[in-house]
Structure 1
Amino acid sequence: MYLKQTILACLTAAMTSGVLAAPLALKAGHPDNYVVQKGDTLWDISGQFLAEPWLWPRLWNINPQIANPHWIYPGDVLQLSWVNGEPRLGKASQGGKQVIHLSPKNRYENKANPVPTLPLSEIGPFLQTDHILANSQQAKEMPYVLGNNEKHVGMLEGDVLYVQGTLIPGQDYGVYHPGTIYKDKQTGEQLGQEAVFVGVVRAEEQLPNNTARVTLAQSRREVYQGDKVMPLPPQETLAAVFMPKAAPVISPGYVIELPSKARGGGKFDVVLINKGLRDSVSPGDVLDIQRPGAEMVDKNGKVSYREYASVYDKAFYSAGKSSLPSESVARVMLFKVYDKLSYGLILQSRELVSSGYQVSNF
């Protein structure tokens, strides 16, 4: 609950010079009024009015110095107005005449939950538990599960386990299964290793020979010998401030995979991209996702898609091979950034996004 409140508060408090510099264009055919529906997000509502919904802080006239969110609730009537030539969205009075701009004051009425900025349920697990290790060497140096005296292969909630490594008695730790090692598809550089969250253990006692006795307090799936153990991120240090802004100029990257393992993802699905802190990106950066243009083989005017061409034609008529123009299909906002990789949430999508799609500035 604390995490959700923190993310909600921080999300609505974010605005940067990048947002201020961009023009605020209203969407063609936008309404003048809108009744908030159950299940709405500020992003969806902003998309009713703005051509670029990621500029929502200006539409709501959010002050970056305000720590509390501008709560709105299902059933509230929103009305569009103009202030100094800029469009503003606020709550209308019951009579529908006076526009009351959203207030930073706390609200105490016993109503439904306030409307969040984004569907937090989609990114919560990535903020709280799932993780990317810098490299496979980091995984080798972490404490790991030895097993238990019942000789269970898969250990479940309530089991007493032993861990090789030093732990602090009374402290909770996350248990992670080492997953996919991500490598750059062109250079072969190791970008990081997936750490799949499987459970939480509570350290009970530090024993001789650098061994700790722990209790498996909760488990998402079975815990196995060799699973890694590391501290859970404190809620107050989670990267929960998402600043909707254009990303700095980067060299083109690509979508590595969809953590859901689906073949394609749409709006509010999560993707993993090969850009991170070393590329100067940060949480809140918005990037464009493009479908690569189809590669062609042109044999003296006889054109075919490269994947359908013969081996001979690929070998002798691909030296100057052309491809159709790439197409912008989605916008993604980064929300968890590592050194060489980042998780992003698809905010807009005209069609499904797949691994290998290009990520670049728009």
Structure 2
Amino acid sequence: MVRWTVWWVLAWCLAGNSLHAAPLTVKAETPSVYTVQKGDTLWDISEHFLDDPWRWPQLWQANDYIQNPHLIYPGDQLHLIWRDGRPQLHLKRSVKLSPRVRVERTPILTLPAEQLIPYVEDHRLLTAADVSRLPRVMGDSQGQQFISPGTAVWVDEPLSPQRQWGIYRPDASFTRTLVNGEAVEVIALKAIAKVSVVGQADERSQIAITTLLQEVRQNDVLLPSPAPVRESALRFVPSEPPRGLHAQVLGGLANQQQYLATAMVVVLDRGHLDGARAGQVFQLHRPAVPIRDEAGNYRYGAVKQHTSATELAGPVIGDVMVIRPYEHFSLAVVTRATAPFEPGLAALPPQLPPASPEQS
């Protein structure tokens, strides 16, 4: 676990009105003062205080008078107070300085950077049409199936030598049908190597491998190398998605992942054009159980002719948090799963019990 950065003003803006549909509940026997530890994450702290960690912005609303984004650092103290019967947090700085020692502290982040940055940095989701237009590795001068550094590698297009390039391998594909009936296929690309252009001839480019993560193969594709992803890419807070934003887990980033579990990164079939944002938390639901009524006798299974049917809601088995939305799809990390699960589960906004009259 590593340290996390938090944008508090953004957190408050992301908190929807639906967060007030039920009273905010603090875990039983939670200490009134918590000292932030090195290695804490915002998600850890949210779970420390709340039964529903994604409601963190509501707990932090006591600080909505602060104009600039706030940062939490190891050593800071979070004080749990009650105002008008509602729990709220106050931040108390804890900085010890010596005239001869310069103290530098790094703020905590929302999720473990070492766990997620490789997925944010080394993976891409591109449409199948875009992937089909990318330059491809033709092979090397020795005819090897698995290409390693030190050989002359050729690409089927002229590439700019002024740019750094990365080699990616299509690793999995996912399809979604849009409201207008259009089918969109997206392909997950996994970073394989970093290369530089060393020559050109006959509308082809010769490249040299500078960093190798995995052996290069024929038909791997090339993309310009992006700027290194920093921890700032994880500057988001847990929040609730819009109530009408329903998603589905399409699968993991690798084809061989038949079962998914806690800490794995998955692909959701909703993106930023649908309203998905980094930090939004969805609950994972198993499929609903169909029940048919045959003259007063209930049976499991789909409805038959001359029978009525209903469904029993599927149980909640975990949560996923969006870490990088694309246009129509998103990468999300499984923050909790009570058991391994297969792709296809519904990812729905968290369900909260309605507030009772005396609590509303």
TM-score after normalising by structure 2:
0.77
Q: Which secondary structure state, in structure 1, belongs to the residue aligned with residue 168 of structure 2?
A: strand
1: distance between equivalents of 2:296 and 2:224? 62
2: CA distance between counterparts of 1:318 and 1:162? 66
What is the SS of the residue equivalent to 1:225?
Answer: coil
Q: CA deviation at 1:57?
A: 4.6
Count of aligned positions: 333
1:328 paired residue number: 316
> Corresponding residue for 2:327?
339
Equivalent residue for 1:293? 288
The match for 1:25 is: 24
- Partners of 1:160 and 1:68 in 2: how far apart? 51
Equivalent residue for 2:213, pick from 220, 227, 247: 220
Please state if 1:276 is matched with 2:296.
no
Per the TM alignment, residue 153 of structure 1 is displaced from its structure 2 partner at its CA by 1.0
Q: Secondary structure at the match of 2:289?
A: coil
Q: What SS is found at the alignment partner of 1:128?
A: helix
Contact 1:191 1:274 in 2 (8 A): no
Amino acid at match of 1:211: R
2:38 and 2:74 in contact (8 A); partners too: no
Q: 2:122 pairs with 116, 119, 129, which one?
A: 129
The 3 A distance-change label for structure 1 pair 198 and 170 is same
More displaced, 62-71 or 32-41? 62-71
Q: Does 1:179 align with 2:171?
A: yes
Q: Aligned in 2, Cα 1:26/1:302: closer, same or farther, shift over 3 Å?
A: closer
Which of 193, 196, 204 is matched with 1:202 structurally? 196
Conserved 8 A contact 1:299-1:317: no
* Inter-partner Cα distance in structure 2 for 1:131 and 1:28: 38
Q: Which stretches in structure 1 are left out of the alignment for 5+ residues?
A: 91-99, 307-313
User: Which sits farther off after the overlay, 271-280 or 325-334?
Assistant: 325-334
How many angstroms apart in 2 are the aligned matches of 1:295 and 1:173? 51
Counterpart amino acid of 2:15?
V
**2:110 and 2:235 in contact (8 A); partners too:** no
CA distance in structure 2 between the aligned counterparts of 1:20 and 1:178, rounded to whole angstroms: 37
Match of 2:89 in 1: 88
Letter in 1 for 2:280: D
Are 1:11 and 1:117, in contact at CA under 8 Å, matched by a contact in 2?
no
1:306-352 C-alpha deviation (Å, 9 max, x unpaired) = 3xxxxxxx694697443322233333221111122111123344554
Name which of structure 1's ranges 184-193 and 284-293 shifts more when overlaid on structure 2: 184-193
Alignment-derived partner of residue 255 in structure 1: 249
Choose between structure 1 and 2 for higher RCO, CA contacts under 8 A separated by at least 6 residues.
Answer: 2
RMSD after superposition: 3.6
Give me the whole-angstrom Cα distance separating, in 1, the residues matched to 2:159 and 2:175: 31
In structure 2, distance between residues paired with 1:169 and 1:177: 21
Q: Distance in 1 between matches of 2:163 and 2:116?
A: 25
Partners of 1:11 and 1:240 within 8 A in 2: no
Identity %: 22
> Does the 8 Å contact 1:58/1:88 carry over to 2?
no
Corresponding letter in the other structure for 1:27: V
**Higher deviation after alignment, 64-73 or 209-218:** 64-73
**Match of residue 138 from structure 1:** 130
Alignment partner, residue 168 of structure 1: 160
